[in-house]
Amino acid sequence: MIKDILEDSSGDIQLINGDIRLGASLFQHQANIIVAGKGEYRRAINSTVGAIDYIDDEDPEEFLQDIRLKLVKDGQTVDSISIDNGQVICKADYE
């Protein structure tokens, strides 16, 4: 299990009694990779998908393929990626 600094729903660092909260971060990492715009992370320019760029696409295959590529690049083993009721479902984990 990968642990990292946890973020709240608005992307701010979670604090408990003034201390930074650490915890399981797989889903947080996946969400950051999918949502962050391409080039948003300067030290890892090609590591994000930029979901907003795919908003008007009729066929989600390119979007799903981009997610798979970026998760694998991040070191995750991807079992499946799909879209269900507008939600991206990732079955992936770090090796």
Kindly give the confidence (pLDDT) of every residue in the chain, 95 residues in length, as a single tens digit, with 9 standing for 90 and above. 789 999 998 889 999 999 999 999 999 999 999 999 998 888 888 999 999 999 988 899 999 999 999 999 999 999 999 999 989 999 999 98
The answer for residues whose C-beta is within 8 angstroms of residue 3's C-beta and 6 or more apart is: 22, 23, 24, 25
What predicted TM-score, i.e. pTM, was given to this entire model?
Answer: 0.87
Cα dihedral 70, 37, 13, 89 sign: negative
* Residue 27, token pair as written in the block: 């889903």
Other C-beta atoms lying within 10 Å of the C-beta of residue 92: 18
Beta bridge partners of 20: 15
CA dist., res. 88 & res. 9, Å (int): 17
Name which of 24, 25, 27, 67 is nearest 48 in CA terms: 67
